[in-house]
Structure 1
Amino acid sequence: MGFLDDVGSAIKGAIDKIETAAIPAMISEALAKTDFGDLQGLIDKLRLGGLKEQVNSWLSNGRNLPVTAQQIHDALGNEQVKQLADKFGVPLDAVSKFLADHLPTVVDQASPEGKIESNA
């Protein structure tokens, strides 16, 4: 049974990696259909919404500061969060949580030189 457990764990790990790799593209695709337009547009709105310190940490080479779903919601505002939720096809609270969980890493990976690459 140990071998099958190991195989099952390996398969689950591979699936998780594939799903994680798809997140940046999924976010970019959804943003393209909103007023944000792209990742840079979302970052600009988050900075204006009071998350400048967090966003700057994601762009830098240092540690990424965490952000909560509530902070994302507050920074973007209800209408913008609703627009994103509609594009993702999920409830308001789910999109804020998803962005809080994944945006620090997505922005970090899309900005190797401290700026968002144009294809992100």
Structure 2
Amino acid sequence: MSVFTALLEAFISKRKGIDYLSAVTEFVESHGGVQELVSNMTKNGLQATVASWLNDGDNLPVSAEQIMSFTDSDALKNLAEKCGMDIPAAAGLLSRYLPVIIDSLSEQGTLKKSATNDLITSGQAILKGKLSG
């Protein structure tokens, strides 16, 4: 999914009264931020997937099942409730957004220094740069 597609999906969901991007952002923040999420994914056998998101080139996909395998079920349940969907659909939402978020916060194979800040601040900086440049 491209950054544009993610933004479009977020805009459409917000018009429906559900802000998927904010819900995903809160989910990532509740898991210790992007760095902790990347570390957790790497520890759970998704090294190649995470590496593709951090490096230039195409992002490997992550499935909803993979998301569910390393994610706390209560956290997924909370995300699902916020988004008005079931748990597998919430995991699918993460599988669409996480590659875009992590790819946008990475440079030359590592997370940017800005990714150490809270995700909301980082996301706002990315969006501002994408929309103005």
Q: TM-score, normalised by structure 2?
A: 0.62
Number of residues of Structure 1 aligned to a counterpart in Structure 2: 101
CA deviation digits over 1:33-84, x for unaligned, max 9?
A: x3x221211111111111111011101112111111111112x15xx13313
Q: Is 2:35 the counterpart of 1:43?
A: no
- In the alignment, which of 107, 111, 115 is matched to residue 111 of structure 2? 115
Question: Which consecutive unaligned segments of at least 5 residues does structure 1 have?
Answer: 1-12
Distance 2:47 2:67 in 1: 12
Distance 1:87 1:68, change over 3 A: closer
Percent of aligned positions with the same letter in both sequences? 26
Distance 1:55 1:66 in 2: 10
Q: TM-score, normalised by structure 1?
A: 0.67
Matching residue of 2:26: 29
Q: Does the aligned pair in 2 maintain the 1:54–1:65 contact within 8 Å?
A: yes
RMSD value, Cα: 2.7
Q: Is 2:77 the counterpart of 1:85?
A: yes
Distance 1:107 1:24, change over 3 A: farther
Distance 1:61 1:68 in 2: 21
Distance 1:104 1:71, change over 3 A: same
Question: Which consecutive unaligned segments of at least 5 residues does structure 2 have?
Answer: 13-18, 120-133
- Of structures 1 and 2, the larger Rg is shown by 1
Please state how far the C-alpha of 1:88 moved relative to its aligned partner.
5.0
Q: Does the aligned pair in 1 maintain the 2:49–2:59 contact within 8 Å?
A: yes
Distance 1:111 1:24 in 2: 18
